[in-house]
Structure formats: C-alpha cells, structure tokens
Amino acid sequence: MSIDVRHSEDADKYLATDQLVWFGEVTDADADHLRLGLPEDQRFVVDLPDGPEDHHAGIYGVRPMEMSLPGGAVVPIAGLTWVGVHPDARRRGVLRAMMTDHLGRTRAAGTAISALHASEAAIYGRYGYGVAVITHQVTVGRGTELTAPHLEDEVAGITTHLVTMSDPGVAERMRACQVANAPDFPGTIIGSPDFFSLLTLEIPENLRDKERRRVLFARRDGEDIGFIGLRREHKWDQARPSGTVTAGTFCGGPAARLAIARRIVDLDLMGTTKLENIGVDDPLLGWVGGPRGTGSLATWDSTWIRLVDLEAAWPLRSYDTDCDVVVEVEDRYAPWNAGRWRLTASSGSGAAERTDADADITLDVAVLGAGYLGHSIGGLLRAGLVRERRAGAYAELARAMRTAVEPEPSIGF
Ligand SMILES: CC(C)(COP(=O)(O)OP(=O)(O)OC[C@H]1O[C@@H](n2cnc3c(N)ncnc32)[C@H](O)[C@@H]1OP(=O)(O)O)[C@@H](O)C(=O)NCCC(=O)NCCS
C-alpha cells in the first residue's frame, strides 16, 4: 500500500497528534511550541484510510536551521523533529513513508544535510542517519579546581553575569553568541530567531517547584563572548546546603568557557554541578584531569547526520588530510546517492564524482553521515560495519574525514 504524505492543513489536529504520541501534560504553551518551533509549510502529515479519525496517523516537521562544518562553513540543514506515529498506526510503514518524503523534499529544496536527535537509538540508522556527535553528561563537585595555565591571561579579562533566560533580549543575545562562535566549533546548530524564543520560553507548568532558568553570560570589553543556560535546585543534607545546578550546552571559546565553568562550580548553596551536554573533547575534561576528576560521566549520542545529497554535501566541509578512494555507497531511501563515487580530498577541499572504477570500500551512507562533522569512524571497519576491498583505503577515508578535535554536541531540537 502506498502511503501519502502531505502538508498539514489543521494545526490543532497536528498538535493533538503530537500530544497523544508524547503523552505529556497538555498545556496552553503547546501551541506556542508549534508556532515558534515549526513554520507552517514545514509540517507534514499522514492519514490512513482506516483512521484514526480525530488524529493524524503520523506527523513530522522540519526546523530550518544552520550548522557549522569542519573548516568553518555554516550551511543550511533540515532539522527533523516532531516525528510521531499514532499508537494505533504503529509498524505499518508510516514512518518509512514520512522519511522517504522528507529525503525527497529536502533534496528538492537544495538542502544537502538532514540532522536530528533520536528518541531511540534503533530508529534512524536504517534511513541513513549516522551518529555524528557523541556527548557526555558530567557532574563535578562544588569548588572543583579547573587548571588551564595557558588560558589564565585571557580569562583575567572576562567577567560573568547572571540573567533570567526569559527576560527580553536574552534570546537575541544567546543567538548572536552562537552565530559568532559556530565556525570555531563544527557541529554547532543554529536555530532561527523563533527557535531561540522557543528555547527561552518559560512556561508556568515548568516552574511549579523550580526557579526560572538563568543564563550566565561571559563578557569581554562590553561584548558577550559566551554563555550557558542553568537552573539551581535546593537540597539540604544533614543541615548542609547541597543543591544541584544543572547547566546546558556551553557556547563560547575556551577562555569564556573556563570563566563560566569556574562560576558554575562555585555557586552558593550548591553541592554539585551537572553539565548536561559536554563534547568528547570539551576542555572541561582537560581542566579536571580526565574522567576521574568528575563525579560521574555518562556518554550518549547527540546529533545524527544524514547526507541527503552526497555529491553536494561532500565539498561543503574541509578535510585535514588528503584521500582518493572509490566508495560503493548503499542508500535504500535516497537512491540518487547509491552507487560508486570517487571521493577525494586535496589541500583541504573535497570533491565527489560518479565513477565506474572498482570500489575500494563498500559502506552504508550512514557511515559518511557519522564521519561528516569530524567524529572518528575508523573503528567501524573492525566492527565489521564497512567492507574494505583495497587494503588501507578505509583508513585513508576515515583519516581525511576526522578532525583534530571531535565535533560539538548540539542543543536539543
Ligand atoms: C518511532 C515511530 C515514529 C515509528 O513509526 P512506525 O510508523 O511504527 O514505523 P514503521 O512502521 O514505518 O517502521 C519502519 C521500520 O522501522 C522499524 N522501527 C520503527 N520504530 C522502531 C523502534 N522504536 N525500534 C526499532 N525499530 C523500529 C520497524 O520495525 C520497521 O522496520 P522494517 O523496515 O525492517 O520493517 C513510532 O513508533 C513513534 O511514534 N514512537 C513514539 C515517538 C517517537 O519516538 N518518535 C521519534 C522521535 S525522534
């Protein structure tokens, strides 16, 4: 049976389907989430002939976003989100139809890359998405010493300032900082101005026993140069204050991050600082002397990347070493990518050309997505997830795609 995917024409029904799929508390702010989060022409739905009637069978949406790549280019991406299938319509191919639709539309719009955060790890690999960024969730104790001798001069000129996230102008300041820093931190995803308004929206339901979210800005010479979002929670243990401050994603260069980190590990009445989104090569792990300098460390997948148009995507980023390999790409859902490509990188620039030459490597397009932001994919050969036909060819490809520093995790979208 072919499943038709079309534009949403009923915002209430779209929202109701999302609320059913995600079964959270329904609040008046949900409509704001839809309004600010998804442009009307980027909402898509599936209805099946046998229902459900009061909801869609499936929905998805695309946030128009930008992402920074190795080399510093900032390019448009399709931020796939709001994916949900009605519980009665599960496992009947609705998601498959929506993903096929998304890839076709994204390519037709001239956007080479799709990105997402996955609710479950098993869903998106089959559609050609690869785990492109790994993130750590780290806790550190109050007063943890952060050692960075070669940043001290720069840190001395930086001040930090606590403001309330939902206050007027804060969303704009956060976005401006992110735009300025993105080229230096490949993997940074930049949302639209509306998306930042959404991020900073403080809904009453989330404030029942919590403080308003704050933002700690780092400033130098009167300019914002970095920030982190945070929220404190009280706890008293044996009459001693031992609250937790939970902080989001760092934005800023190393010195700005150090100034921010020193303040958030030493906030009054707190015992623990929990950093929810720290890149694998984030300086924090160096400042505390490695994993055991933290209180705890957990590892998760952050951004998943899908090369929707391999030929267009390959030259958008830069490459640290040269390569010249023929890759047989398997791509069931974007057949225009499938087949043999000569992928080259020379003096930093990449080119992808169709070829009839024998393949050096056979791999799924998801592998190229996983390596696209510079994350190491070298281990996938040992794991048996790629096939090498010319000895050394895969290492050549993996080395060229890898960057000196692992890519930056992205804020949830
Ligand atoms: C995840 C979800 C969208 C899947 O939708 P669906 O319409 O049931 O998926 P399909 O029937 O199109 O399945 C396509 C394939 O993916 C597989 N699949 C789907 N969901 C899966 C899951 N959670 N884990 C493992 N495999 C899954 C199916 O088995 C099927 O495999 P096949 O192609 O080998 O037959 C749906 O279960 C859902 O709405 N879940 C709750 C919300 C959610 O997690 N959304 C994702 C947000 S990132």
72-119 pLDDT, tens digit per residue, is 999 999 999 999 999 999 999 999 999 999 999 999 999 999 999 999
Which residue has the CA at smallest separation from atom 5 of ligand 1? Answer: 95
> What confidence tens digit (pLDDT) does each residue in 380-404 have?
999 999 999 999 999 999 999 999 9
Question: Does the domain spanning 307-401 belong to CATH 3.30.200.20?
Answer: no
Q: Is 217 a catalytic residue?
A: no
Q: Are 231 and 213 in contact (CB under 8 A)?
A: yes
Q: Is 196 a catalytic residue?
A: no
- Using a 10 angstrom Cβ sphere, with 0-12 exposed, 13-18 middle and 19 or more buried, the burial of residue 266 is middle
Residues contacting 77, CB < 8 A, separation 6+: 65, 66, 67, 111, 113, 114, 115, 189
Where exactly does CATH 3.30.1050.10 map onto the chain? 307-401
96 lines ligand 1 (CB under 6 A): yes
Catalytic residue among 60, 372, 394, 413: 413
Q: Check residue 81 and give its pLDDT.
A: 98
Question: Of all atoms in ligand 1, which is nearest to the CA of residue 86?
Answer: 39
Which residue out of 60, 95, 99, 117 has the highest number of ligand 1 atoms within 8 Å of its CB and is therefore the one to mutate?
95
Tokens of 71: 């080399």
Q: How remote is the CA of residue 106 from the centroid of ligand 1, in Å?
A: 21
> What confidence tens digit (pLDDT) does each residue in 269-308 have?
999 999 999 999 999 999 999 999 999 999 999 999 999 9
Q: Check residue 28 and give its pLDDT.
A: 87
pTM of the model: 0.97
Q: How far is CA 269 from the centre of its chain?
A: 32
Catalytic residue among 14, 124, 196, 217: 124
118 lines ligand 1 (CB under 6 A): yes
Query: Residue 1 pLDDT more than 80?
Result: no
Question: Of all atoms in ligand 1, which is nearest to the CA of residue 98?
Answer: 12
- Residue from 207, 272, 266, 206 nearest 243 by CA: 272
Q: How remote is the CA of residue 101 from the centroid of ligand 1, in Å?
A: 15
For the 135-166+202-301 domain, the top CATH level (class) is alpha beta
Which residue has the CA at smallest separation from atom 17 of ligand 1? Answer: 123
DSSP assignment, residue 184?
A: G
Query: Residue 51 pLDDT more than 90?
Result: no
57 lines ligand 1 (CB under 6 A): no
| Residue type (1 letter), 216 | L
Where exactly does CATH 3.40.630.30 map onto the chain? 5-131, 135-166+202-301
Rounded Cα distance, 227 and 336, in Å: 41
Which residue has the CA at smallest separation from atom 31 of ligand 1? Answer: 91
> What confidence tens digit (pLDDT) does each residue in 318-330 have?
999 999 999 999 9
The proportion of the chain whose per-residue pLDDT surpasses 70, expressed as a percent, equals 100
Rounded Cα distance, 355 and 360, in Å: 12
Q: How remote is the CA of residue 59 from the centroid of ligand 1, in Å?
A: 13
Fold of the CATH domain 5-131: Aminopeptidase (3.40.630)
